[in-house]
Amino acid sequence: MGPKKPEIEYIHLRRIFELRKAKDPPQEYTEAYECLRKLAQGAMKKGPFTVTNGKTAPHIAASGDPRDFLSYAPYWWPEEKNGKVNYVRRDGKRNPDCKLVQDQSQLEGLAENLTYLCLGYYLLGKPEYGNHAVSLIDAFFVNDKTKMNPHVEYGQVVRGANNPTGKGRAEGIISTRFLARVVNVLPLLQDHEAYTAVSQPVRAWFSDYLRWLLESSIGKKEAATKNNHYTFYLVQTTSIQQFLQPENRDGVRSIENYFNVTLPKQVDPNTGNQPLEANRTKPFHYLEFNLHAALFLGELAIDAGCNVYSHHQLIPLATTYMVGCCKPDMKEDMTEGVRTVEIVKSRYGDTNDSCYTNFLENARRCKDAENLSGPKHAIARLWFYHENGQQCSPSTSSSSSSSSSSNGSHHHKGSRTKAFLNKLLHRNK
């Protein structure tokens, strides 16, 4: 079966910058560099990726435009009644014919291979990686015949007689979460000559898409959800805001609001349970899925100069609850939670009973351990940035005094971060 593709996580660009500045990679990164080289070389043979690729009727959006992103609601199944075929929901049971439309897999392929190419160009100094990355960007965002239209009006469509318009649902926005990975790595191409030709059209595309996310009826409906859909909605909006205007604090304020207002509603402060995720057919998956998105936001905030972890204890509480859900007879894949636990452990330290360490050791010995192998997982150490080795102890409760002191220190770190990003994006020229 082979290793699974990892879920997106935030890539710390300043860590990538520090590695290139060092020229010769530290010895402990030798394997990660070699894995990156293999992945980038493989990506040279991939693509182009487009939402128009191989698209034929009837698997085209109801608009008739093949450039409109289309995905089908995964847990909906056909049932014939009175001569009509309606679709009904069966949570946790994925309809295999959703694969008849490939827009989401095309986007995921773009984001994955673009990551390898951008990192390979920036860290390995191979212009050809940058050239191919630009060609992939052009096909997906610039070329009039193949570019995706900047909206998701036809995401997670429920098919059948009960949806005669063929319109999508707000839930469809989660199908495009990998766009957050795209904007995360694009700054690594900033000094590539070929990228200058597509830079402005790409920025215009993401500006239009962000406007749609914030102002469309579907976008507003997704923004009003309370579970993992809202968290991943923020992953997209804040990532794009940081890409378009890193000096603007709107995205950071949204993340702070999530940690201060939304997360306390998602996580039970007494148990760490996430009721909206735990009541699903695959509770471990969804508990991890929402936490993973929250960590993406937390890591992004660090690069923007704001450590939201320093006075919030719900993340380790929820992680401990999630780890406790792993049972010997569990049918779900516990390796899905490894990166989440690794990040939480690095930020907060382990629990008193070492449950994070024990979970990671068990995951590497479980029946699905193969999912953690391979170069796609090995390169994650390249970008993880540990803020001066500081940890936020899970046993430490927040206080107004600690919040005040951390805000002051993070303002100073924010200045350093902004200077780094300015240098990376060549804004000091």
* Dist CA 313 CA 381 (whole Å): 25
Confidence (pLDDT) at 400: 31
Q: Work out whether strand 76-81 and strand 84-89 pair parallel, antiparallel, or are unpaired.
A: antiparallel
384, with CB counted inside 10 A (0-12, 13-18, 19+), is: middle
Confidence (pLDDT) at 328: 77
Q: Dihedrals φ, ψ of 77, to 5°?
A: -130, 150
Confidence (pLDDT) at 131: 98
Confidence (pLDDT) at 170: 97
Residues of the chain with CATH 1.50.10.100: 44-248
pTM: 0.89
Confidence (pLDDT) at 385: 66
Question: Which residues of the chain, if any, have pLDDT below 50?
Answer: 1-2, 388-390, 393, 395-429
Q: For residue 343, which of 384, 314, 383, 393 has the smallest C-alpha distance?
A: 384
Confidence (pLDDT) at 6: 85
Class assignment of domain 44-248?
A: mainly alpha
* Dist CA 348 CA 177 (whole Å): 26
Q: What is the 3-state secondary structure (H, E, C) of the chain?
A: CCCCCCCCCCCCHHHHHHHHHCCCCCHHHHHHHHHHHHHHHHHCCCCCCCCCCCCCCCCCCCCCCCCCCEEECCCEEEEEECCEEEEEECCCCCCHHHHHCCHHHHHHHHHHHHHHHHHHHHHHCCHHHHHHHHHHHHHHHHCCCCCCCCCCCEEEECCCCCCCCCCCCHHHHHHHCCHHHHHHHHHHHCCCHHHHHHHHHHHHHHHHHHHHHHHCHHHHHHHCCCCHHHHHHHHHHHHHHHHHCCCCCHHHHHHHHHHHHHHHHHCCCCCCCCHHHHCCCCHHHHHHHHHHHHHHHHHHHHHCCCCCCCCCCHHHHHHHHHHHCCCCCCCCCHHHHHHHHHHHHHHHCCCCCCHHHHHHHHHCCCCCHHHHCCHHHHHHHHCCCCHHHCCCCCCCCCCHHHHHHHHHHHHHHHHHHHHHHHHHCCCCC
Confidence (pLDDT) at 262: 98
Confidence (pLDDT) at 404: 32
Residue type, 141: F
